[in-house]
Amino acid sequence: MPRPVARVLALLELLQSGGIRTVTELAGRLDVDERTVRRYVGHLTDLDVPVESVRGRYGGYRLAPGYRMPPLMLSDDEALAVLLGLVAGQRAGLTTATDTASGTAAAKIRRVLPERLRRRLDAVLRTLDFTAPPPDPTVAPESTALLAIADAVDHHRPLSIRYTAADGRRSERTLHPHGVVAHSGKWYITALDLTAGEDRTFRLDRITAVTTLPGSFEPPAGLAPAERLLTALATAPYRHEVTLWIQGTAEQIHARLPVGVAIVEELPSPSSADPQAGPWSRVELRVDRLDWLPAVLASLDRSFVIERPDELRGLVEALAVRLTNSARRSAPHE
């Protein structure tokens, strides 16, 4: 929100804490001069907030005795959307590691809701469960870094960061940040790395310091940060490079091999395939392990050809033998 509006709300928060606040104290807390404090008080009175002026040696401003902020006027659907959004963000790992902002924000909203609605929402929160465990909180970024990076992306400002790579190597880099993307419980930044001279992707929880640099830059046309992130994850160097031909469309294949795992390109089928049986797609993956792939390929229930590596052929054959033996096996006798 605009800074003056934020400071007017901060003034209201200070006055709500009780007692008389001197103009000098308020000016120091808000980092403005005393004349500006008086103007902010005028904004509050224009909004029908009863701010009283107390004269004398220990004078200043205070809220009228007995004044309370009115209940937060949200419909049932609006209140449920806000609280579920906070809970879902916390469970998805989209919170900071240094505080409990989601919990405290939810508590503040609950306190100002009407009693009837608060009881109903409490019932939802008590009965709500999740099918997946919460993410590791140590992979969440610092809120200060996230806010600074998002501001730089929004205003096209260059950044200087200190970064620790997955192997522990530390570096300082200058970036033109393009976007902030949340993916699988982690935050990423896509950027032009001026230090390396190419587009890169960085994990925000591995950034230890952020400095906004003077100047600005022109972002590239057709920018799609989420798409760039998924492509970067799918093409990252791993132990095994896998190339497959699968009989099916990209949409059908991505149902089992997501965009962040596999690059799918629909092409004419190999000469050995029946062109009447449907389109074929070339699929490329980079993985550290191959043992999970045979079961995924079987679950696709589509014809496929292994181009590389040969090791995957043996794993698929071994799975086929195990499935055949299981299908022929009789039930154990009690």
301: three-class secondary structure by DSSP: coil
Single pTM value for the model: 0.49
Paired residues of 193 in beta bridges: 175, 198
CATH topology of domain 143-222: SH3 type barrels. (2.30.30)
> Alpha helices, DSSP H only, in the chain?
3-16, 23-30, 34-46, 76-91, 101-111, 115-127, 143-155, 225-234, 250-254, 293-300, 310-328
Comparing CA positions, the residue from 162, 185, 164, 166 lying closest to residue 175 is 162
Classified by CATH at the fold level, domain 3-63 comes out as Arc Repressor Mutant, subunit A (1.10.10)
pLDDT tens-digit profile, the chain (334 residues): 445 777 887 888 788 777 888 888 888 888 888 899 889 988 888 878 888 888 877 678 888 877 766 655 667 777 777 777 777 776 666 665 544 566 667 777 777 677 777 787 777 777 666 665 665 555 555 667 777 888 888 889 999 999 987 667 788 999 998 888 887 667 888 888 988 888 888 888 888 889 999 998 988 887 788 887 777 766 666 778 899 999 988 888 888 888 778 888 887 655 555 555 678 999 998 887 888 899 999 998 898 999 999 999 999 999 999 999 888 888 776 5
pLDDT tens sequence across 197-216: 888 888 888 888 899 999 98
The pair phi, psi for residue 208, each rounded to 5°, is -100, -15
Q: What are phi and psi of 306, to 5 degrees?
A: -90, 115
CATH 3.30.70 fits 240-326, yes or no: yes
- d(CA 206, CA 221) in angstroms, rounded, equals 28
- Of 277, 248, 242, 280, whose CA–CA distance to 263 is shortest? 242
Q: What is the amino acid identity at position 226?
A: A
Radius of gyration of the chain from Cα atoms? Answer: 29
Of 157, 229, 173, the closest CA to residue 206 belongs to 173
